[in-house]
Chains A and B, each alone.
Chain A
Amino acid sequence: MFRRLPDAPVGTVTIAVDGLEVPARAGETVAAALLAAGVRAFRTTGVSGAARGPYCMMGVCFDCLVAIDGVGSRQACLVPVREGMRVETQRGRRPVEP
């Protein structure tokens, strides 16, 4: 499992992941917060349905896609957490809005 480094930022914020409150540290990314909270599969793919999670953590692999505040397929490793942020993991192809 992932553990935070001892010198990780200390301020705390709370985000919602699939409707559940998850504590996070100010300044860390959504991907870091989810990994620290034990979330491994951020999404499943649109073709085979295989589980996917962060691979590169630097914006390249596009495997950490989640919906953030209603906007789908955002790169969790590039977005810093914010108090009250709503994060949803994704299942397969995401729906289009009406």
Chain B
Amino acid sequence: MTAEFDVAVIGGGLVGAALAWGIARARQRVVVLDEGDVAHRASRANFALVWVQSKGLGMPEYAAWTKRSSDAWQGLAQELKQSTNIDVAFSRPGGFTLALSEAELEARAHMLQRLHNQPKMVRYPYEMLDREALLKRLPRIGPEVVGASYCPLDGQCNSLRLLYAFHAGMRQLGAEYQPNHVVHAIDYHDGVFVLRNSRSAVRAEKIVLAAGIGNARLAPMVGLQAPVRPQRGQIVVTERVERFLEHPLVTIRQTDEGAVMLGDSQEEAGLDESVGLGVTAAIAGRAVRMFPLLKSLNVVRTWAGLRVMTQDGFPIYDESSSRPGAFLATCHSGVTLAAAHALVLAPMIAAGSLAPDLDVFSARRFDVQTAA
């Protein structure tokens, strides 16, 4: 049996598209099978942060992986602009997490200290700022803001254009995109994967499961596991206004076109994608305490989406030992990690195996150890 593609990527969201672009860039013949509008698209719920501070408590390798992606992001943005003429509006002015009480500020400082005290923690700068120091950098904060953490590595982008650029770029590189293509079964014969649904069969030598929450269903078909659950996030967006905020905050950012995004909740709500007034009111209320000028802006949209969460919150990258050539990638931060996925993980998949330093991200970490 011959395969018509080198690699089939299941999932056309930010993770799948970044990988497909990177694999096509490594001169492989790529097809992307995207489920369609019935999919629970996590890319809908993202906040467009390229965020470093505070990530990796419990897994310092994740902090390093995040920093590596953040460091590669400018290059990714430039390459996408050059090849597709789409400006993904990446900026890295450093980001803040504001505290509205001394207790919050203290908890934040303590958490960051524990993060950076971990053995094997990657080194990068961050600061804790009191109100006086913070006012010099964010003069429009409200009277209740007592301080903030700041990390110069944090940035942001226009994530809608990022997804669009990956899709435009992958097609330029010869990748084929098949929308409305759900995969029901994955067979494996003589080194070739056959991805089947009721209408068709696609043959590829390698496959990448990048279907977000859908990976939980697909992974066992190739001897892998993806214990992921949906987590609902709600976001509030205001009308476009003159620029007042260059820096991204973990819950407030102003887009390159002037809209202000307020976020974001983390709710355990199953597959319920509805927007609730209680949560959006709480989001807006907190945001107004941080920046009182927000109170006069019109809200133009609120939405909810389901993001992908693992038990420990860290990504899963895996390759199957029983089905060589089957890979899995699933994560919460598809925007932040886009550069690592496109420029580091994709070439590994193109070359046929994951580097040993990604072992730590295998879902085998969730297995209960056998007694000695």
Tell me, yes or no, whether B258 is within 8 Å of chain A by CB: yes
User: Which A residues, 16 to 59, have Cβ-Cβ distances below 8 Å to chain B?
Assistant: 46-47
Which one, A62, A95, A98, contacts B241 given CB within 8 A?
A95
Closest chain B residue to A95 by CB distance? B242
Bound-complex Cα distance A95 to B239 (A):
11
Q: How distant is B80 from chain A, measured CB to nearest CB, in Å?
A: 20
CB contacts (< 8 Å) of A73 on chain B: these are: 239, 298
Contact indicator per residue, chain B 235-254, by CB within 8 Å of chain A (1) or not (0): 00001111110000000000
What is the total of A-B residue contacts with beta carbons within 8 Å? 33
Tell me, yes or no, whether A96 is within 8 Å of chain B by CB: yes
Bound-complex Cα distance A95 to B244 (A):
9
Q: How many residues of A contact B (CB 8 A)?
A: 12
Cβ–Cβ contact A94 & B239, under 8 A: yes
CB contacts (< 8 Å) of A97 on chain B: these are: 293, 296
Tell me, yes or no, whether A72 is within 8 Å of chain B by CB: yes
Cβ–Cβ contact A94 & B242, under 8 A: yes
**Majority SS at the chain A contact face:** loop
Tell me, yes or no, whether A93 is within 8 Å of chain B by CB: yes
Cβ–Cβ contact A93 & B293, under 8 A: no
Bound-complex Cα distance A47 to B258 (A):
8
Which one, A46, A72, A96, A98, contacts B257 given CB within 8 A?
A46
Cβ–Cβ contact B242 & A96, under 8 A: yes
Bound-complex Cα distance A94 to B300 (A):
14
28 residue pairs from A and B, CB less than 8 Å apart: A46-B239, A46-B240, A46-B241, A46-B257, A46-B258, A71-B296, A72-B296, A72-B298, A73-B239, A73-B298, A93-B240, A93-B241, A93-B242, A93-B243, A93-B258, A94-B239, A94-B241, A94-B242, A95-B241, A95-B242, A96-B241, A96-B242, A96-B244, A96-B296, A96-B297, A97-B293, A97-B296, A98-B293
Please give the residue numbers on chain B whose beta carbons come within 8 Å of chain A beta carbons, in ascending order.
239-244, 257-258, 293, 296-298, 300
Please give the residue numbers on chain A whose beta carbons come within 8 Å of chain B beta carbons, in ascending order.
46-47, 62, 71-73, 93-98
